[in-house]
Amino acid sequence: MTTVLQGLYAIADTSLIPEERLVEKVGLALYGGARLVQYRDKSNDPGQREWQAVDLLHLCNSFRVPLLINDDVELAARIGAAGVHLGQDDMPIAQARALLGPSVIIGASCYDDLSLALQAERDGASYVAFGRFFPSHTKPIAIQANPELLTEAKRYLHVPLAAIGGITPDNAPLLVTSGANLLAVVHGLFAQGDICAAATQFARLFTKQKV
């Protein structure tokens, strides 16, 4: 699987998506054009986490789209996921890279801090994520970042930039023109009545860039 880290990054958060519709809803996002998927589950049921992650892995593989696991390096290694996304309180990036290998995708949350992003790149991150940029249903009290941060980060970093937090088709163009390679979307995708159509709206922002 050749991975280009650009486009819609679908964050499949089980606090928003009912268990019995997880694969269905992620499938709709993939049909709409999602280019990266993250499985995010904060429950304390390791068995459920594993079978849900395996189901999503099979689905994503059928679309040739990478599946990343939020926080859980051991789970990602066990099921053969394409990678992980790590926050500042998770396993250090360099340790995760040593465990998972050189070809696995490792994302790092950097909030509003360019220095964290620079260190993450040095430690082996495949991409860095900034945000939240707008009021967020998922993380309403998360640190606020400004779009200008993306423009500044583009000058110093050599890895792709992901933007997250309250992203909608209306405010997303500002983030793309500011330098975001990936739009990480939760509520703006999976809480919509037509997930496939919402995904297509986001995906088209990157198609327009190529014209």
User: For residue 108, what are the β-bridge partners?
Assistant: 86, 128
DSSP state of 81: -
Q: Are 182 and 161 in contact (CB under 8 A)?
A: yes
Q: In the annotation, is 132 catalytic?
A: no
Give me the catalytic one of 40, 49, 97, 132: 40
Q: Is 133 helix (H, G, I), strand (E, B) or coil?
A: coil
In the set 109, 126, 136, 178, the catalytic residue is 109
Q: Give the integer Cα–Cα distance in Å for 181 and 170.
A: 17
Collapsing DSSP states into helix, strand and coil, what is residue 7? strand
Tell me, yes or no, if 25 is annotated catalytic: no
Residues forming a β-bridge with 84? 69, 106
139 catalytic? Reply is yes
Active site residues: 40, 109, 139
